[in-house]
Structure 1
Amino acid sequence: MEKIIDFFLEPYYSRATYLIILEAIAFVFGIASVIYAKNRNILVYPTGLIATTITVYLFLYDELMGDMMMNFYYSVMSIYGWWNWARKKNGSPVVPVSRTNKKEKFIGFGMFVLTMLVTYIVYKAYGSVIEFTNYIDIFTSGLFFTAMWFMANKKLENWTLWIIADIITVPLYAYRGWGMLSLQYLIFTILAVQGYIAWKKHLNNNLQTA
């Protein structure tokens, strides 16, 4: 047990205090954001915006360009999602929870492939040496990008993509020495499963009463 704790804490021994504090803040707001998302609460976006903005800086500092780019995108999409979720007509949300249709699935797949390509180009543009973990990063970037788009449009499938990407990210961040963020994504995985169940139940209830 002690070795496991040391594995997570050791990278922080030589890390600047302000970076640890920033990571802790991002951790708290990131968890809060997913909890709000699970409950279909619009506060998912302001809390998420705080977390992703901080994380952009952290990843840029560590030259993790794929992760940095994804969190920058999250920040932009948080603004769009905030606006989209806030729209109402006759007191009801304009964008209800729904499943993706064939066209949206096709668009999602296109975004997934395009994101991986762009992330790869960003790595090359910054002259980074692309290692095996970076290819995993490129793959998860595609998943996260598409998941965020689906979430902004309240598509149930967003949770499936979050679950897959979160599971992959947990060991990836642990390997990179991001102990708090690795733990955060473990919690994200659990919350994403709960989010899928909650949204599916909400969707089924709406279909029954329609």
Structure 2
Amino acid sequence: MDWQNIIEGLQTGIQEMNWLEALAVFFGLASVYYSIKENILVFPTGIISTLIYVWICLQVGLYADMGINAYYFSMSIFGWYVWSHPRPGKVVVPVTWMKGREILQALALFLLAYGLLYYVLRFYTDSDVPGWDSFTTASAFVGMWLMAKKKVENWIAWIITDLVSVPLYFYKGLVLTSFQFFVFTVLAVIGLMAWIRAARKYEEINV
């Protein structure tokens, strides 16, 4: 890995960055921060970031990522509702682990999304990265669905998504966004550890 080229690319990306991308990055980072804290502000900040990225992805030809940001928007509305309507007798929706059926559903969602997206991008668009774009989109589908349901494993899906997104966005010339996904990876690891502790605490209380 040539760190000099990466540093120079990051400097160039910052210099060429427009205010719209900077705004999207800011609200994206804020959304992840609030997610770690289990704060419902994760959803309004996420909505702003995803709407901006719908436009940005359209401009650079990341069509699947454009679609996933539209999906983020709709799932943010759903998650906002779920988080603000806990079960009777509960102050908040608790962080919990996935059960067997939910794991199978998540795997099915990933495989179905990846297969459909790859086919569409490969044969019906001018995308030059159909595999990468489909993979990050499919894994993010799963991550957003699990986050809306407050499942610990959502962070694993995000870590995978972020790790693949770093080189993808760098390749597309969105260097600042690439760096953002690197930061997202670090935050996702922190989020995973925080939600594991929260889930264990909930289990201890309800033993």
Q: What's the TM-score, normalizing by structure 2?
A: 0.90
TM score, norm. by length of structure 1: 0.89
The equivalences for 1:45-56 within 5 A come to 45-56=43-54
Q: Which runs of 5+ in 1 are unaligned?
A: none
Deviations 1:20-63 (A, max 9, x none): 11100000000000000001111000000000000001001222
- One of 115, 121, 124 as aligned partner of 1:123: 121
SS in 2 for 1:154: coil
Relative to structure 1, is the Cα distance of residues 164 and 2 closer, same or farther in structure 2, using a 3 angstrom cutoff? closer
Q: Determine if contact 1:65/1:122 at 8 Å carries over to the other structure.
A: no
1:176 and 2:172 equivalent? yes
Count of residue pairs brought into register by the alignment: 203
List aligned pairs for 1:47-66, cutoff 5 A. 47-66=45-64
Partner of 1:198: 194
Q: How far apart, CA to CA, are the structure 1 residues paired with 2:89 and 2:158?
A: 32
Residues 126, 11 of structure 1: alpha-carbon distance in 2 compared, 3 angstrom cutoff? farther
Q: Partner of 1:87 in structure 2? A: 85
Other-structure match for 1:26: 24
Q: Which moved more, 1:31-40 or 1:113-122?
A: 113-122
Q: Give the fraction of aligned pairs with identical amino acids, expressed as a percent.
A: 38
- For residues 12 and 207 of structure 1, do their structure 2 counterparts lie closer, same or farther at Cα, with a shift above 3 Å needed? closer
- Measured against aligned partners, the alpha-carbon deviations of 1:99-151 in whole angstroms (never above 9, x if no partner) come to 1111111111111011112322442564325x4x3201111211110010000
1:142/1:3 CA distance change after superposition, 3 Å: closer
Whole-angstrom distance in 2 between the partners of 1:39 and 1:27: 19
For residues 65 and 207 of structure 1, do their structure 2 counterparts lie closer, same or farther at Cα, with a shift above 3 Å needed? Answer: same
C-alpha contact (below 8 Å) 1:69/1:119 kept by paired residues: no
Preserved contact between residue 8 and residue 177 of structure 1 (Cα < 8 Å): no
Q: 4+ runs of 1 displaced by more than 2 Å?
A: 1-6, 8-13, 88-91, 124-127
Q: Matches of 2:41 and 2:120 in 1, distance apart?
A: 31
Per-residue deviation at 1:173?
1.1
1:9 Cα offset (Å): 4.0
Q: Distance in 2 between matches of 1:187 and 1:55?
A: 17
